[in-house]
Amino acid sequence: PRRGHRFRSMASSAEQETAPSAVEEELVKKQDGMWHPKGGLIEEVEAVPEKLVPRKLETKSAATYSERLPFESFALSDETTVVKLYFGLKGAKAMLPAESVTATFRVQALEVVASPSPSRTYRFHESILYEHVVPDKCKVKVKKDHVLVTLVKANEHAYWENVSVNRKAIGPVRKSPPDFGRPTVVVTGGDAK
């Protein structure tokens, strides 16, 4: 008798395991809806508002990185009425596309920027030039292996020893601020397309 009793109890426990519970039956009956253990069957799902995400602005500076380098070499030539600056750049005429060289002239400041490619830029900047220049008459040209900048002197008797002044020597005597005067921008380029 004991053996049969054990056998019956094992059989009844197997039947209980295979029989679906009330919760499982409810899920099987309504598969289309969503079930939550605390709330039972959820008939309607509330619409969740979409989260507004700010749109990222497109900018050239963020899109590309441009490496800024000094020109490969530099030379100065003082002539009677003009000062010629030679900025060395091998193969400048061939590698610089049209409108890729920009020179910004002011009464006592100069900036020259040459961009052979979007990822590389050569730059020269002097905030206080040795003497005053006439920005409207200054020029920039691209030659075979260099960029030539011609500065027209305001005082043709002044001899330029250097492009910049000795800032320690001038001290508070010279009052003209850096980048003084209205800018004159000249744009040019080489033969590259």
**Residues β-bridged to residue 35:** 41
> Is 84 within 8 Å of 150 (Cβ atoms)?
yes
Give pLDDT, residue 173.
47
For 32-119, list the strands marked E by DSSP. Answer: 34-36, 40-42, 67-69, 73-78, 82-88, 101-105, 110-117
> Is 188 within 8 Å of 153 (Cβ atoms)?
no
Task: Return per-residue pLDDT of the chain as tens, 193 residues.
Answer: 555 555 554 545 545 555 666 656 655 555 555 555 655 555 555 555 677 777 776 665 555 677 889 999 999 999 889 999 999 999 999 999 888 999 999 888 899 999 998 888 999 998 888 888 999 999 999 999 999 999 999 988 888 888 887 656 555 544 555 555 677 787 877 776 5
Q: How far apart are CA 74 and CA 146, in angstroms?
A: 9
Give pLDDT, residue 52.
75
Give pLDDT, residue 18.
58
DSSP 8-state code for residue 123: E
DSSP 8-state code for residue 29: H
Give pLDDT, residue 54.
75
> Is 85 within 8 Å of 103 (Cβ atoms)?
no
Phi, psi of 53 (to 5 degrees): -110, 130
Give pLDDT, residue 127.
82
Lookup: tokens for 21 = 């519970």
Q: How far apart are CA 100 and CA 147, in angstroms?
A: 11
Give pLDDT, residue 140.
93
Planar angle of CA 151, 114, 138, nearest 5 degrees? 15
